């Protein structure tokens, strides 16, 4: 069953997503060569706390960190540790916060200082795929319309989508119905109704789509060692255009000026 949001619940959901978006923005700007991923996670924890929220990840199925920080060939669920970020690395930052009873979930891959053209193209195509998926989150469309838009853009650019992990409904809990795959799965034929809140999150590999999980039980890496990128927004299906709940004002106003 898909839980539709409205009224006070939707206000709280918007607030939670705004916090998640602002935290991600701050963490993305903080990332620089020489920091350990532990330091980045601690910075994120302080950002979440200062906004009166708490991490939706810490303790989720015993997850041990405040954020997911996935470097280079790490796809998602990377654990913070003593690894130092180096110029040219790419790091996927995933932030989930719990605030006013709801969860906001958002992610972005950023270059550490700068990166090569191949890595930049992977990030660009993944972010474009996210926005094409969001554009398909229209009332009376189906989940597969989102999946198709993402998969088509990724594969026509020569990259591949991860199959084992998918986007999802989000609300009072992190993972609600429906599942939102980044590939067409004909079983995912639910209609999108106004009030549906979903996390759309393409995970894109530069090489083959296959992944494996490291012995830490969490970190997902590409089997072929190729780079991977991840962009995610929590989105509200409305009666018209979708509303990107985790898009901070700062980025919006920057875009308006541009």
Nearest-approach distance from CB 222 to Co ion, in angstroms:
18
Give dist(CA 28, CA 104) in Å, integer. Answer: 17
- Of 127 and 224, the one with the shorter C-beta distance to Co ion is 127
Q: Is the peptide bond before 178 cis (omega within 30 degrees of 0)?
A: yes
Give dist(CA 239, CA 249) in Å, integer. Answer: 22
- Of 177 and 194, the one with the shorter C-beta distance to ligand MF3 is 177
Footprint of ligand MF3 on 20-59 (CB under 6 A): 57
Give dist(CA 86, CA 162) in Å, integer. Answer: 25
Stretch that binds Co ion, among 53-61, 108-116, 188-196, 224-232 (CB under 5 A): 224-232
What binding mask, one character per residue, do residues 188-207 give for ligand MF3 by CB under 6 A, x or -? -----------x-x------
- Of 104 and 158, the one with the shorter C-beta distance to ligand MF3 is 104
In sequence order, which ranges of 136-236 are alpha helices (DSSP H)?
143-156
Nearest-approach distance from CB 4 to ligand MF3, in angstroms:
20
Candidate list 105, 183, 188, 197; residue touching Co ion; CB under 5 A = 105
Contacts of 107 (CB under 8 A, 6+ apart): 24, 68, 92, 93, 94, 95, 201, 230, 231, 232
How many other CB atoms sit within 10 Å of the CB of residue 38?
16
Candidate list 60, 101, 116, 214; residue touching ligand MF3; CB under 6 A = 60
Question: Does position 96 bind ligand MF3 by CB under 6 A?
Answer: yes
Give dist(CA 59, CA 196) in Å, integer. Answer: 26
Give dist(CA 109, CA 87) in Å, integer. Answer: 14
Question: Does position 68 bind ligand MF3 by CB under 6 A?
Answer: yes
Applying CB under 6 A, which residues contact ligand MF3?
A: 57, 60-61, 63, 68, 77, 94, 96, 105, 199, 201, 232
Q: Note the residues at the interface with Co ion (CB under 5 A).
A: 94, 105, 107, 199, 201, 232
């Amino acid at each position: 069953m898909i839980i539709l949001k409205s009224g006070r619940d939707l206000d709280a959901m918007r607030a939670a997503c705004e916090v998640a978006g602002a935290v991600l923005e701050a963490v993305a700007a903080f990332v620089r060569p020489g920091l350990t991923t532990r330091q980045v996670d601690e910075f994120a924890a302080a950002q979440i706390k200062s906004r009166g929220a708490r991490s939706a990840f810490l303790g989720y199925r015993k997850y041990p960190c405040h954020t997911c920080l996935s470097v280079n060939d790490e796809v998602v669920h990377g654990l913070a540790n003593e690894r130092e970020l180096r110029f040219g690395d790419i790091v996927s930052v995933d932030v989930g916060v719990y605030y006013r009873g709801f969860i906001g979930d958002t992610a972005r891959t950023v270059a550490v200082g700068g990166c090569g053209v191949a890595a930049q193209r992977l990030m660009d195509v993944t972010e474009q795929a996210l926005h094409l998926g969001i554009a398909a989150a229209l009332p009376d469309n189906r989940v597969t319309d989102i999946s198709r838009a993402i998969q088509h853009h990724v594969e026509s650019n020569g990259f591949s989508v991860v199959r084992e992990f998918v986007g999802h409904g989000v609300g009072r809990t992190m993972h609600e119905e429906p599942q939102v795959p980044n590939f067409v799965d004909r079983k995912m034929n639910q209609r999108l109704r106004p009030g549906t809140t979903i996390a759309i999150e393409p995970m894109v590999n530069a090489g083959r789509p296959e992944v494996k999980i490291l012995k830490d039980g969490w970190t997902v890496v590409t089997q072929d060692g190729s780079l991977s990128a991840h962009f995610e927004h929590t989105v509200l299906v409305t009666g018209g255009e979708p509303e990107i709940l985790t898009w901070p004002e700062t980025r919006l106003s920057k875009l308006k000026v541009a």
